[in-house]
Amino acid sequence: MMVSTKGRYALRVMIDLAEHNTGEYIPLGGIAERQNISAKYLERIISVLAKAGFVRGLRGKGGGYKLTRQPESYTVGSILKLTEGTLAPVACLEENAAPCQRAAECRTLLMWQKLDTLIDNFFEGITLSELTEETKQQAGDNYII
């Protein structure tokens, strides 16, 4: 499994929105600047997030984007599945995959299924809220004397 730039950037955008979650709309340009992501590329990512109802957008003065729910209700898994389509380690475990003709005698199928479960449980067990807290703790651990 390889998480694409789209998936990684979608996580960064969602974390940015969670960190700046004041109830106000956050301008796309500010997110792009803070995250060092091209505004054009960010527009494509945010449109996927908006269509799925993860974020809400408002055009015009005072516009931008904001989360539709509290940060603790978003999992890393839900964001990655939305942007990546699948987190399955092999094609035969992807949703709606064609039945594998070798499944009955496949010596590695159980291993791939276990890995798929581990990946899913891992990413579904991490929320945006947890990621923003980790960032705050890391920032607080940088002492200069």
Query: From first to last of its 145 residues, what are the pLDDT tens digits of the chain?
Result: 789 999 999 999 999 999 999 989 999 999 999 999 999 999 999 999 999 999 999 998 889 999 999 999 999 999 999 999 999 999 899 988 888 888 899 999 999 999 999 999 999 999 999 999 865 665 555 444 4
pLDDT of residue 100: 84
Per-residue pLDDT, 135: 58
Of the options 3.90.230.10, 1.10.10.10, 3.40.50.2300, 1.10.600.10, the CATH number for the domain spanning 5-140: 1.10.10.10
Cα diameter, the chain:
64
pLDDT at site 57? 94
What are the φ/ψ torsions at residue 54 (nearest 5 degrees)? -75, -35
Distance CA 106, CA 48 (A): 36
Q: Which tokens hold the place of 92?
A: 């035969």
Collapsing DSSP to helix, strand or coil, 100 comes out as coil
Is residue 48 within 8 A of residue 57, CB to CB? The reply is no
Q: What whole-number distance in Å separates Cα of residue 23 and Cα of residue 20?
A: 9
Domain extent listing, the chain: 5-140
On whether the CB atoms of residues 121 and 77 are closer than 8 A, the answer is: no
pLDDT at 2 (0 to 100): 87
Instruction: Give the model's pLDDT for residue 143.
Output: 44
For the stretch 58-70, pLDDT in tens is 998 889 999 999 9
